[in-house]
Structure 1
Amino acid sequence: MIRIEIERLILRPFSDGDLSALFMLLSDEEVTAFLPMFPLKDMAEARSYLRYIETWIRNGGFYYAICLKDSDLAVGCIHVSGDDSHDLGYCIRKEFWHNGFCTESCRAVVDLLRRMGLPYITATHDVNNPRSGRVMQAIGMHYCYSYEELWQPKNFPVIFRMYQLNLDGQMDRVYREYWDRYPVHFVETF
């Protein structure tokens, strides 16, 4: 994975030196409220999560630390899965919310993926987390459909909105895996 420098941030691979920063990010209940994980409880879980990131990358995905340019401090993360969903995800420490850091990071990753020839990316957000949807819209993603999933490991039903950005110009392509997998699916009108 290459290091990406953008206006206010650096996107770089996580390292063992980021263990405390990763724990600070992913132990926060507000930050993890809409993530498919429970908050980390201790540094041992943070260390295990770093190993998870390594596995994510070995499986063909991207997983970057979002760092402040002036300090190289990891304050968030952004990732794209290596499976056929090419699912984009992101989070940032709450003291850095509402500064456009996720949007700025997503734009940089989308530019990289476009240059690499990835045909499309998807992203989903809980309907109760509309700010995440606004990040998706800000980077040019388009709403495709909604579906209900019994969300794991938290084990409660969630309505997700699925967004997609076709990077190769095939504008009629829609990733249908979630539509086909979950019996409760529909298209919302806004």
Structure 2
Amino acid sequence: MFVRSERLFLRPGWPEDQDEFLALIDDESVVRNLTRAPWPYTGEDARRFLDAAPDMLLPRFLITQPGAHGTRIIGCIGLSLLDGEANLGYWIARDHWGQGFASEAARAVLSLARALGHKRIVGSHFVDNPASGRVLEKVGFRPTGRVLERYSEGRAASCLSREYAVEFDSPSDCGDDCDNSGLGSAPAMAPKRAA
């Protein structure tokens, strides 16, 4: 599965991505904000992640940026199950922070999630990483009011995490924000306030 947004191309990871992927995620300032990535992050961890079987209802992608000199990986984004709900997770390599890539990739994945029939997506961030909360709010998530303890493999500790959610209207009810494909850079959803 592939998704194109205004500046980005989201694609599956392949075994030949291992070295480039590892060079980007092998950064404690990235890994400490993730729940499932260990620290230190090794080549074996990268291989296992890239070799994992795809799930068509919970897709995950490498975030790549096409350019004049080829396409480079700048992060990762995808859906997973968390406490029985579809959860949006992502990371961007430190050299690419602050350029709107996380928001753009999240909008594209949320449009795809809606097209796949998901009704609600949750997301969270550790309380000491408010930048991730700003990304979630920018793409339509609203705080649920819950602050939960989540274990971070990268920190080897449980940390407080704020929960957010976005709920979709009917998949055919795109409104004026949709482009023709439903997968463009505009959010193809009508966010609702989470309960």
**Where on the TM-score scale, by shorter chain, does this alignment land: which range?**
0.7 to 0.9
**Distance in 2 separating the partners of 1:142 and 1:150:** 19
Q: What is the CA distance between 1:49 and its match in structure 2? A: 2.5
Match runs of 1:1-190 below 5 Å = 2-36=1-35, 37-51=37-51, 54-55=52-53, 57-58=54-55, 60-70=57-67, 71-82=70-81, 84-149=84-149, 151-153=151-153, 154-168=155-169, 171=192, 174=195
Which structure has more relative contact order (CA 8 Å, sep 6+)? It is 2
Q: What is the CA distance between 1:147 and its match in structure 2? A: 2.4
- Please report the TM-score for the alignment, with normalisation by the length of structure 2: 0.78
Write out the 4+ residue segments of structure 1 that deviate beyond 3 Å after TM superposition: 39-42, 152-155, 169-174
**Distance in 1 separating the partners of 2:106 and 2:41:** 28
Post-superposition CA distance 1:56-78 (Å, at most 9, x none):
x3484211000012222111000
Post-superposition CA distance 1:71-114 (Å, at most 9, x none):
22111000101463110000011000000000000001111111
**Distance in 2 separating the partners of 1:41 and 1:156:** 16
Contact 1:120–1:168 (CA under 8 A) maintained in structure 2: no
Relative to structure 1, the CA distance from residue 4 to residue 147 in structure 2 (aligned partners, 3 Å threshold; closer, same or farther) is same
Same amino acid, percent of matched pairs: 28
**Distance in 2 separating the partners of 1:93 and 1:121:** 24
Q: Classify the secondary structure of the residue corresponding to 1:146.
A: strand
**Distance in 1 separating the partners of 2:192 and 2:148:** 25
Across the aligned residues of Structure 1 and Structure 2, the Cα RMSD in angstroms comes to: 2.2
Gaps of 5+ in 1: 175-190
**Distance in 2 separating the partners of 1:68 and 1:152:** 28
**Distance in 2 separating the partners of 1:17 and 1:147:** 39
**Distance in 2 separating the partners of 1:155 and 1:42:** 16
Higher helix share: 1
Q: What is the CA distance between 1:24 and its match in structure 2? A: 1.3
Letter in 2 for 1:11: L
Contact 1:121–1:164 (CA under 8 A) maintained in structure 2: yes
Gaps of 5+ in 2: 171-190
Letter in 2 for 1:77: C
Q: Classify the secondary structure of the residue corresponding to 1:72.
A: strand
Matched residues, number: 170
**Distance in 2 separating the partners of 1:15 and 1:40:** 22
**Distance in 2 separating the partners of 1:146 and 1:112:** 26
